[in-house]
Amino acid sequence: MVLGVLLAALINLGGTGKYFHWGFIQISAANLVIIVLMIVVFVLAILLPFPKRKGDRQ
Amino acid sequence: MSIDTNVGAEPRTHAGGPAHSSAESRQWTARVRHAAESAFPPDQLLPDRQPAYMASWIYVFGVLTVVSLAWVIITGCILAIMGPTWWHVSSTGHFVNSLHLWSVEAFFFFMVIHLWGKFFMAAWRGNRRLTWATGVISFLVSVAAAFTGYVSQTNFDSQWISTQAKDGINSTGAGAFWNVLNFGQMLMWHIVLLPIGIALIAGLHVLLVRRRGIVPPFEVAEHHTEPVADAAAAAGEPA
């Protein structure tokens, strides 16, 4: 039971999907969240320093 | 193919050994082996050194994509063995079905970031056009594979998607041989033809990355008058 709660989705995925409309553009909230997340990860991948091992040449 | 009369003796080695005989050079097996050894020397195929400019998070998304693809294939094989009843009814089946779905989500997530990174690096520079092209084709084939997966779920969702998609696809003319309402055809595309296509193209893409090496940043490339076409030549070179 506890494990089921822990593994369950953070939000209810069983209901009707939420959509955004801008003119002729229509996108689901889920897809918009994924796209924003991808952009965030992309920017972080460029900005965050990569860890170095001892002895690595510069 | 010639007969080796050296029965019982040590196998003949070629690396560092005597020059190849003319009889051997005529054999297709020898020619293929020599071509493979020349195109992909072992230290280039599995290198233990990489250029210093590769020490950036943006370079990890290619291998993350490959790992996600491996999970997609592994979970897909389990689903194929156990069948639709299992993945619809049992909790273990639900779990593996979800692993398959989320592996695909991760696959596209990492692949798109990989694509963005390579696009802004202009990763086709330095004789890497084929590497870029195989990546693009791999992406397009993956979209088709994901789509056929969505219409092969055997639930109301797959029925909805296929009936919504049929008119658009039929309007392109592709419906004549790619009928999204034909479940058997879609399933066969999803579990046979498209996975073979992705494995071959993605495999070629990885081999080309090994052969040509990763694309250097613009500021590094400016210091090279010749394009960096050899991964071994660039390996270990300070940025």
pLDDT tens profile B80-121: 999 999 999 999 999 999 999 999 999 999 999 999 999 999
Question: Which residue from A minimizes the CA distance to B59?
Answer: A45
The pair of structure tokens assigned to B177 is 């041989």
Identify the pLDDT of residue B11.
47
How far apart, in whole angstroms, are the C-alpha atoms of residue B167 and residue B175? Answer: 9
Query: How do residues B137-148 score in pLDDT, each as one tens digit?
Result: 999 999 999 999
Measure in Å the smallest separation between the Cα of A14 and chain B Cα atoms. 12
Q: What does the radius of gyration of chain B's CA atoms come to, in whole angstroms?
A: 23
A-B contacts (CB, under 8 Å): 35
Is residue B55 within 8 angstroms of chain A, CB to CB?
yes
> Residue A36: CA atoms inside 13 Å, Cβ hemisphere, count?
7
Domain ranges of chain B: 60-121, 125-214
Three-state secondary structure call for residue B153: coil
Chain A contact for B109 (CB, 8 A cutoff): yes
Predicted TM-score of the model (pTM): 0.80
ipTM over 0.85: no
Q: Which of A39, A42, A48 to mutate to test the interface with B (most CBs of B within 10 A)?
A: A42
Rounded Cα distance between B111 and B101, Å, is 15
Mention every residue, 6+ apart, whose C-beta is less than 8 A from residue B96. B75, B78, B79, B82, B87
pLDDT for B229 equals 44
Q: Is the minimum CB–CB distance between B238 and chain A shorter than 8 Å?
A: yes
One DSSP character per residue, chain A reads -HHHHHHS-SS--SSPPPEEEETTEEEEHHHHHHHHHHHHHHHHHHHSPPP--TT---
Residue B10: DSSP 8-state: P
